[in-house]
Chain A
């Protein structure tokens, strides 16, 4: 069966510090990978998605970047965090086809102080 791992579960970082969140998927090949952000009590905002190694699409201009160095690894990064980067970050995967369900990880709660 497929599993998705996301870490860390919680993170507190000072403004101006770098960020690296990692997500890995097991049990499937060539998945689509996604990063979402969820502000407190709000909906799901798609930040990045990837249909293959090195292929990243950005949904909104922001202080973050994403990379996919391996087929089942997706990394969310920032060089200098802003207070507004605080939120709940979710990684998800789907099979590489249209109209497929997303499978989410358990998220990382990021607090920028």
Chain B
């Protein structure tokens, strides 16, 4: 089955810096990779996703890159702001099932 590993577990940056979170997956058949942002006391919210027919997708200050050969994908946040502080989760589908396997999460802290 699918196994998703996420690094780092915590990440501290200064406001305006870039932040990168990386995930690896095990099932080469996986073809959909979402990223979620969870603020304190709330449910995770989808912020961006990518399918395997593209290598990169951008939405304003966030981008996701996918390397299918190496089986890893990354979230990039540029010009970070304090409101980007949250826990971020990556995920990949469990092949043959209509469900996602989540990484263990990255706590991002952006200091003013």
Whether, in the assembled complex, B98 has its beta carbon less than 8 Å from a beta carbon of chain A, the answer is yes
Q: Which residues of A are found within 8 Å of B99, using beta-carbon distances?
A: 32, 34, 46, 49
* Chain A 33-53 residues near chain B, CB threshold 8 A: 34, 42-44, 46, 49, 51
B49 close to chain A: CB less than 8 A: yes
* CB-defined contacts of B31 to chain A, threshold 8 Å: 99
Q: CA of A90 to CA of B41 in the docked complex: distance in angstroms? A: 11
Q: Is the interface of B mostly helix, strand, loop or mixed?
A: strand
Q: Mark A77-113, 1 if CB is under 8 A from B, else 0.
A: 0000000000000101010111111111111010000
Chain B positions 61-112 with a Cβ under 8 Å from a chain A Cβ: 89, 91, 93, 98-100, 102-105
Q: Which of B8-42 contact A (CB under 8 A)?
A: 31-32, 34, 36, 41-42
A90:B32 contact, CB within 8 angstroms: no
A104 touches B34 (CB 8 A): no
For residue B3, CB closer than 8 A to chain A, the reply is: no
Do A51 and B43 have beta carbons less than 8 Å apart?
Answer: no
- Closest residue of chain B to A98 (Cβ to Cβ) is B98
**In the complex with contacts A98-B93, A99-B51, A90-B102 CB distance below 8 A:** no
Tell whether A94 pairs with B89 under 8 Å between CB atoms, given A44-B44, A99-B51, A107-B42: no
Q: How distant is the Cα of A70 from the Cα of B52 in the complex, in angstroms? A: 35
Distance A100 CA – B100 CA, assembled complex (angstroms): 9
Chain B residues in 8 Å Cβ range of A109: 41
Q: Are A106 and B43 in contact (CB under 8 A)?
A: yes
Q: How many residues of B contact A (CB 8 A)?
A: 22
> In chain A, residues 45-69, which have Cβ atoms closer than 8 Å to a Cβ of chain B?
46, 49, 51
Nearest residue in B to A32 (C-beta to C-beta)?
B98
Which residue in chain A gives the minimum CB-CB distance to B95?
Answer: A98
List the A side residues contacting B34 at CB < 8 Å.
101-102
Q: Which residues of B contact A51 (CB under 8 A)?
A: 98
Q: How far is the CB of A60 from the nearest CB of chain B, in Å?
A: 13
Q: Can you identify 6 A-B contacts, CB atoms within 8 angstroms?
A: A32-B99, A96-B98, A98-B98, A100-B32, A102-B44, A104-B36
Q: What are the 6 closest A-B residue pairs judged by CB atoms, nearest first?
A: A104-B43, A99-B32, A43-B104, A44-B102, A106-B43, A101-B46
